[in-house]
Amino acid sequence: MSFHASLGNLSLKQLRAFACVAESRSFTTAAALLNLSQSAVSLLVRELESELGLKLLDRTTRSVRMTEAGAELHPVATRVLQDLGAAVAGSRELADRRRGRVRFACSPLQSALLVPRIIGAFKEHHPHITMVLRDTPGGEIVDLVAKGEVDLAVGVLPVDTAFIHAELLQNDDLLLIYPRSYGWSPRHRATWKDLTDHPFIALGEHNSTRYLVDYHAAQVGVRLTPACEVAFVWTAIGLVEAGQGVSVIPGHARTIVQKFPEVGMLPFESRKIRRPIALLRHRHRTLSPAAAAFAAFLQERFPRNHREY
């Protein structure tokens, strides 16, 4: 005899009452354990027997014993109740943020400079939440959020992206980096002419900084012809250090540039060009409690301007 096909029509209260009576061999004891009246426990067991069309318990004035059918149902009912208990306990842990998983994406630069400290501080408060960090080129971050491959991301504020909800975290600026061998004064004002008069090392065409540079260059009628294109900011800095030209990179890379004594840096069009950095999530997906906790933590800890880190 198998009960698996018919369990779907039964109530958990009925199964719990039957299991408790079967294990205690007493309706009185079961009623006390379940905090129900004895008549309520008896009714639940009778309803279960009626639903199955089987006698599950033999009752006498002194004892209660399982029938053959009851003995077969008992381990099935026990397993269902245990699995449910485990699921409820797990759900409560998720709701209380005692465990969970957060999938988070940001640029390789942010992953190296800022995010490790924020994740470290978050893990101190939530040690059993697992963080999955996708250090992804900026041009791919919005797609990861839109496809549901990550819960949250930090990236440049998208334009006209129907599936993305964005909350501004910071307005970053741009830096012109150049070889110090050029001999420019600290008072030198970086202009578009610096990009056209010297070899221009451009970030890749899908990079958000590259998009901003190209867009604003077109707005002022400047045509940029890169001498070299690279995928990562570190590579651009290295080429500049080698005297191969100039580049425009995100302002929050200042701390990296400072480690290269042969590379100078100047604000670039800072009054006109800003990189709006935002916390991104899918507009139509509910964040898990763990992801919601990390989102709130990130918003609180994220620097409001580049000079904070």
Which domains are delineated in the chain? 7-95 (1.10.10.10), 100-171+275-308 (3.40.190.10), 174-267 (3.40.190.10)
* 123-139 confidence digits (pLDDT tens): 988 888 899 999 887 77
**Amino acid 1: pLDDT:** 47
- Greater confidence, 189 or 304? 189
Where residue 99 falls among pLDDT bands split at 50, 70, 90? low
* Contact present, 157 and 274 (Cβ < 8 Å): no
Please compute the mean of the pLDDT values over residues 93-100 and round it to a whole number. Answer: 56
> Model's pTM, two decimal places?
0.64
pLDDT at 95 exceeding the cut of 80:
no
Q: Measured between alpha carbons, how far is residue 308 from residues 106, 237, 254 in Å?
A: 18, 21, 11
Q: What is the pLDDT of residue 90?
A: 59
Q: Is the pLDDT at 9 greater than 50, yes or no?
A: yes
Residue-wise pLDDT tens digits, 231-273: 889 999 999 999 999 999 999 899 899 999 999 999 998 778 8
